[in-house]
Structure 1
Amino acid sequence: MPETGPIVVLPGRPLTVGELLDSAVLLLRTRASVLLTLSAALAVGEQLLLLPLRTAAGATAPLWWAPGMSGLGFFWFLLAVGAATEAMIILLLGNPAARAAGGALLGHRVTAGELLRPGGARWGATALLGAMVGAVMLLVSLLGPGWLVGFALLGAVAPALVVDRVTPVRAIARSATLALRVDGRAAAVRVLGYLVWWIVRVGLGWGMFTGLTTLGMIPDGWSTAVAMLLWAAVNTVAYAALACLDAVVHLETRIRTEGLDIHLSRAPATGTPAQLLAVGG
C-alpha cells in the first residue's frame, strides 16, 4: 500500500468529499496526456454529432444553443441526446481512469502504454456498456428529473468492469448498489462533481466566447465553429475530470464499505493488480 501524503492520489483510507475532488484532479494530472487526448477526440466528435440536431432544432445562438420558441419540443430531445453523449463519453474515459486509479491505490504508476494497451482492458465490453448507458440516459433524460437519478447511479460502471472485473451486466447493478451505500454518498458526490464542472464549463465557455466577440476576433460566419471549438475544449477537461472522480469515488467506496484497504494489506505481494483489486480476488 502506498504511503499517505499530499501527492498521493489514493492514500488507502476513507476520504472526505473535498479530498475526493482533489484526488480526482491529481489523478487527471498524473495521466493528462492519455486522458485529455482521448477526451478531446470524444468531445470534438460529440460537437460534430450534435451540430445537425442543433440545426434541426433551430438552436442557432452559438454560445447557449438556444432555440426559437417554435422549436422547444425538439430542443428538449436535443438536451436529452446531449446528456446521453456526456454519459457515454465519461464512461469510456472511465476505463483508463479507473485502471490508473487502481494502480495508484497499489502504489504503481500505470504508464501511458499500459493504459492504451488493449490486452486486458476490456474495451469491447466498455463500448457495449457505453451504448447501453447512453440509451438509458437518453430515456431518463426525456423525463426531466430522471436524468439526475440515472447519472447518480451509473458512475461506477466502468470501474466495476475494469477494476472489479465483473461481467458487463453485473457492472451496471454493482454501480447502482455502490452508489446507494452510506446513504447514497457516492451518488451525491458524483452529482456534486458534475455541478461543479458544469459551472466551470459554463463560466469558461461564456467568458471566452464573450471575450472573443467583444474584441472582434471572430470572423463573420465563424461563430458556430468557434463556439463548437470552445465547448469541445472545456468539455475535454471536464469529461476527463469526471471520469477520474468516478474512479476514485468507486475505490474509496470499496475501502469505506468493503474493507478493500484491509484486503490489500493482507494480500500476498506476488498478486497482480488485476487479481488484487478484483471482487473476490
Structure 2
Amino acid sequence: MRGEAAGSRRQTAILPLRGTTAGESLDSAVALVRQRALPLLSMAALLAAGEQWLLTGMRRAVPLQPPFFLFDSWNFDAWWRIVATGLATEVAIVTLLAAFAGAAVAPALLGRAATHRELFRRTPVLASLLVAAVLAGIAWPAAYAGLVAVIALYALTGLATPILAMERTGNPFVALFRSVALSARGGLRVARIRILGYLSWLAIRFALGLGWIAVADLLAWDVTEAGWLDWAVPGAWVVANTAAYAALGCLDAVLLVEARIRTEGLDIALNRSRARGEDETAVLVTAR
C-alpha cells in the first residue's frame, strides 16, 4: 500500500540511480538547482548579500585600496583577515544550503513530487545551523593559519547537513563524523570532487565578479577612482556567489547519494525495495 501510494505521486527522476563521473555529478547538482531554483537561489542571494555586507564593512575599516579584493602588500594582515573571514563564511553558507538540498535530493532521486514547503519542513534547521557555526568557527583560524587545513576541512565535511536531512540523523556530530568517513572512501573520491566543484565555480565567480572591471579597463575607465565601486563590487560578487553557493550546496547532496551508491549499495537496496512494493524513503534513511 505504501509503495502504491508513493507511486501515485511519481514524476521523472532528475538524478541517475547509479555511480556517476565527476562531470555528471556537477551536472546533477545544476539540475537540482534548476528544479528548486526559487528557494535555493533566494536563500543563496540573502546569505551572499549578508556575507558581502560583513566583508565590505571590514574593507572600509582598514581601508584597503580599491578594488578591495586584490592583494594589498601595504595592509597584508588586514587583507588576509578578510580573506579568512570570506572563506569561513563560504563554508557556513554552503553548509546551510546543502541542508535544504539534502531534503530535496530524495524526491529528485526517487521521482517523487514534493513542494518547496514540504522540503523546508524536512530540513533540520537548528542542527544545520549548529554544524555551520562549528565549521565556520574552525575554518576561520584554519584559513588564517594557512590554506591547507581549511581545504581539508572543506573537502571532508560537506556531506554533514545532507546526512542530517536525508538520513534524518539526529546528532550533528555523528553526521560530521559520517561525512568524514564517506568523503575519505574510495581514495578520497568525494573530497576530490568537492574541491573540483569549488574550483570550477571559483573560476565562474571570478569571471562574473571581475569581468565587468576588465570591460571598464577596455573602455579606459579609471575603476580605482570610481566612487560607485563601494556598491558595484559587493553587488557583482553577490550575483556571482548566489549561483555558485546554490550549486555547491546541491553538489554536496548529490555526492552523498553517489557515495552511498558506490560504497553502500544504495541503488541495489532501492531497486529491491521497489520490486517488493515497499516505501523507498526508508532505504534512504537507513545508512549502512
- TM-score normalized with structure 1 length: 0.90
**Alignment-derived partner of residue 166 in structure 2:** 163
User: How many angstroms apart in 2 are the aligned matches of 1:28 and 1:209?
Assistant: 28
User: How many angstroms apart in 2 are the aligned matches of 1:247 and 1:17?
Assistant: 14
Q: Deviations over 1:237-274 (max 9, x none)?
A: 0000001111101110001001111121223645373x
Pairing partner for 1:243 from 245, 249, 252: 249
Q: Deviations over 1:104-136 (max 9, x none)?
A: 1111133222233xx342101111111011111
**Alignment-derived partner of residue 271 in structure 1:** 279
Whichever of the two has the greater Rg, that structure is 2
**Alignment-derived partner of residue 136 in structure 1:** 138
User: How many angstroms apart in 2 are the aligned matches of 1:59 and 1:66?
Assistant: 9
Check 1:66–1:251 CA distance in 2 against 1; reply closer, same or farther (3 A cut). Answer: same
Is 2:162 the partner of 1:154? no
**Alignment-derived partner of residue 40 in structure 1:** 45
User: How many angstroms apart in 2 are the aligned matches of 1:161 and 1:213?
Assistant: 47
**Alignment-derived partner of residue 260 in structure 1:** 266
**Alignment-derived partner of residue 222 in structure 1:** 228
**Alignment-derived partner of residue 96 in structure 1:** 100
Unaligned runs of 5+ residues in structure 2 are 1-5
User: Identity over aligned residues, as a percent?
Assistant: 38
User: How many angstroms apart in 1 are the aligned matches of 2:251 and 2:79?
Assistant: 30
Amino acid at match of 2:76: L
Cα offset, 1:75, TM superposition: 1.6
Does the residue aligned with 2:227 lie in a helix, a strand or coil? coil
Is 2:214 the partner of 1:210? yes
Unaligned runs of 5+ residues in structure 1 are none
CA contact (8 A) 1:9 1:24 kept: no
CA contact (8 A) 2:168 2:285 kept: yes
**Alignment-derived partner of residue 9 in structure 1:** 14
User: How many angstroms apart in 1 are the aligned matches of 2:152 and 2:241?
Assistant: 22
Amino acid at match of 2:159: A
More helix by share: 2
CA contact (8 A) 1:90 1:242 kept: yes
User: How many angstroms apart in 2 are the aligned matches of 1:280 and 1:190?
Assistant: 21
Amino acid at match of 1:239: Y
Check 1:279–1:57 CA distance in 2 against 1; reply closer, same or farther (3 A cut). Answer: farther
Does the residue aligned with 1:228 lie in a helix, a strand or coil? helix
Q: Deviations over 1:165-190 (max 9, x none)?
A: 22211011111111100000000000
Does the residue aligned with 1:61 lie in a helix, a strand or coil? coil
User: How many angstroms apart in 2 are the aligned matches of 1:150 and 1:71?
Assistant: 27
**Alignment-derived partner of residue 29 in structure 2:** 24
Segment of structure 1 superposing worse, 65-74 or 247-256: 65-74
CA contact (8 A) 1:57 1:67 kept: no
Amino acid at match of 2:279: G
User: How many angstroms apart in 2 are the aligned matches of 1:35 and 1:49?
Assistant: 21
Amino acid at match of 1:94: A
CA contact (8 A) 2:72 2:79 kept: no
CA contact (8 A) 1:154 1:175 kept: yes
**Alignment-derived partner of residue 87 in structure 1:** 91
Cα offset, 1:96, TM superposition: 1.3
Check 1:153–1:20 CA distance in 2 against 1; reply closer, same or farther (3 A cut). Answer: same
Amino acid at match of 1:61: P
Does the residue aligned with 2:64 lie in a helix, a strand or coil? coil
**Alignment-derived partner of residue 189 in structure 2:** 185
Q: Deviations over 1:139-190 (max 9, x none)?
A: 2212212121111011101111111222211011111111100000000000
Does the residue aligned with 2:140 lie in a helix, a strand or coil? helix
Segment of structure 1 superposing worse, 131-140 or 51-60: 51-60
User: How many angstroms apart in 1 are the aligned matches of 2:38 and 2:52?
Assistant: 21
**Alignment-derived partner of residue 129 in structure 2:** 127
